[in-house]
Amino acid sequence: MSIERLRTNARDFTEGARRPLSTRGFNSNAGQAARTPVRSPKEIGEFYDRNSRVLTEVFAGSMHYGYWTGPDDDTGFAAASERLTAIMIEKLRVGPDDTVLDLGCGTGKPAVQLARATGARVVGVSVSAEEVELASALARSEGVADLVRFEFADATDLPFAPGSFDAVLALESVVHIPDRINVLQQIARVLRPGGRLALTDSITGRGAEGDEEAELAMAEVLDAWRHAPQVRAGNYPRFLREAGLVADEITDIAENVKYTYGKLYAAMDEYVRKHGDLPPDLARIFDLGDGVDWAEQEKEPQRDGIVIIAAHRSDTSR
Ligand SMILES: C[S@@+](CC[C@H](N)C(=O)[O-])C[C@H]1O[C@@H](n2cnc3c(N)ncnc32)[C@H](O)[C@@H]1O
């Protein structure tokens, strides 16, 4: 993100009610924590109820970043997004005998891709009733409703028995949950011993601490997306350990996903041209990035980004 431009845009927004977060399951980025309001799962679900249809359109089918190999990779947004899903699916190492939980399933495309690629059964959960409906319709129209189903459920209080799943996929959903250890404990509980987890999370950690304006600007962006404060990739070994999981991989992919911002803003611009306007929540996001030269940003070292986490529940734990 362009901190210079974002900080200018953030000044245009009045500050809402802010209350400090607990630092448990979080990181030392106290500036962001103090400035980012805590949103309940209900509020987050309502955000997605209002916006998932349009978000799915502007994100080219799913609701997550794309993955590119470098500046010469001219893969389109939809294919790059499917590529990130495929990378994550591979880490689950599941097959037709397995059942996978897709935690924060969005409008269903990753779950459908997972069932198609592996033959595994998939249960997708979301705190948005609208998403559950859209995802269920997608599974039917894609002919995989026998393998894939969706339910309304909160990742911080999962309604499943211990050891119910062979694997858990969480694509950009823990970004909404302030206490990462809590959600990882929920995941560990529903995984069978030896079961695998693959997730992506939003990270920071490239030296803006103490830069008040930069932190305020990023807090505005996070709030506009209803995200919890970002974490540091380096916190994950502790988060996983405290949740009873064993880390297999922690990979910073900021340099691979950074092309997403420009593509997303171009898609939102296109949406406005086609439909006249964006829904208010997304117009706020669009305005925050207004005027950013994304091509220039791609050339700069990335301060924020995405981390891939792969882990498993040990055979002996709990
Ligand atoms: C950025 S979207 C990603 C959707 C999907 N994984 C994808 O990649 O297309 C975040 C998702 O997390 C879900 N989510 C957020 N908080 C949640 C919670 N506490 N429990 C379950 N789902 C949640 C949202 O409803 C949304 O589906």
Ligand 1, closest atom to CA 170? 6
Q: Does the pLDDT at position 8 exceed 60?
A: no
Euclidean distance between CA atoms 63 and 85, whole angstroms = 11
- Asked if 130 is an active-site residue, the reply is no
Number of domains in the chain: 1
Euclidean distance between CA atoms 181 and 194, whole angstroms = 19
Q: Examine residue 318 and state whether it is found in any structural domain, yes or no.
A: no
Ligand 1, closest atom to CA 102? 6
**Domain of 51: which CATH number?**
3.40.50.150
The answer to whether the beta carbons of residues 81 and 60 sit under 8 Å apart is yes
Cβ(63) to ligand 1 under 6 A?
A: yes
Mean pLDDT of the 181-191 span: 98
Checking phi first, is residue 25 left (phi over 0); if not, alpha (psi -120 to 50) or beta? left
Q: Does the pLDDT at position 206 exceed 60?
A: no
Q: Examine residue 178 and state whether it is found in any structural domain, yes or no.
A: yes
When computed from its CA atoms, the radius of gyration of the chain, rounded to whole angstroms, is 19
Q: Examine residue 127 and state whether it is found in any structural domain, yes or no.
A: yes
Segment 232-281, tens digit of pLDDT: 999 999 999 999 999 999 999 999 999 999 999 999 999 999 999 999 99
Smallest CA separation from ligand 1 atom 16, residue: 176
C-alpha count within 13 angstroms, C-beta hemisphere, residue 152? 14
The range of the structural domain enclosing residue 309 comes to 3-313
Confidence of residue 4 (pLDDT cuts 50, 70, 90): low
Q: Which residues 6+ apart lie within 8 Å of 288 measured at CB?
A: 6, 9, 10, 13, 220, 221, 224
Q: Given the DSSP bridges, would you call strands 305-313 and 245-252 parallel, antiparallel or unpaired? A: antiparallel
Euclidean distance between CA atoms 7 and 208, whole angstroms = 12
Angle at 24 between CA 20 and CA 29, to 5 degrees: 60
Q: Examine residue 293 and state whether it is found in any structural domain, yes or no.
A: yes
Euclidean distance between CA atoms 312 and 240, whole angstroms = 9
The answer to whether the beta carbons of residues 51 and 57 sit under 8 Å apart is no
Determine the residue of 50, 176, 230 to mutate for testing ligand 1's pocket, defined as the one with the most ligand atoms within 8 A of the Cβ atom.
Answer: 176
